[in-house]
Amino acid sequence: MIELLVTIAIAAVLAMVAVPSFKEAIVNYRLTSYANNFLASAQLARSEAIKRNSRMTLCKSANGTSCTSAGGWHQGWIIFNDVDNNAVKDSDEVVVYKESAMLADLLMMGSANVDNYVSFVPSGATELVSRGLQTGTLTLCSQSGSSGQARQLIINSAGRLRVTKNLVATCV
């Protein structure tokens, strides 16, 4: 009986040590998964712009039907054929894809040029509605992750994205 109690005590101690690292592994998996979802969405928007020979815009969207300037990318996004080149989803513009909101503890915010939208022109490059080059970084992080893990999606002017792993002091 004593041997059984000692074995159970050792198993409990090992479980207490393993649970925090398992929790961080889950956070890491979620960050990677959502970063890859956004990367795939951007690649879809870029390829559609080239294929259709028309501007395609990827914008943050809380309802899946229109763009919003409030909040972050974690609330979801849509890709639409931006016929009038204004980065605003009008009633006659077709939504090609929509992504629903991320889990509640995840945040994804963009730097100034990619805070609200990313727009791809027929050459596959990114371009602001003012016709300037559109580059920037989107940061995805978990509010519940204690390690400060984050993923940054970096967009260059040629319309290519890359994902990097980073540490952030706070997730805001």
User: pLDDT tens-digit profile of 151-169?
Assistant: 999 999 899 999 999 998 8
Closest to 154 (Cα-Cα) out of 167, 171, 136: 136
> Where do the domains of the chain lie, and which CATH numbers do they carry?
2-51+102-167 (3.55.40.10)
pTM of the full structure: 0.87
Question: Do the beta carbons of residue 114 and residue 155 sit within 8 Å?
Answer: yes
Q: Give the pLDDT confidence of 32-68 residue by residue, as tens digits.
A: 999 999 999 999 999 999 999 999 999 999 999 999 9
Nearest residue to 45 via CA among 160, 157, 140, 153: 160
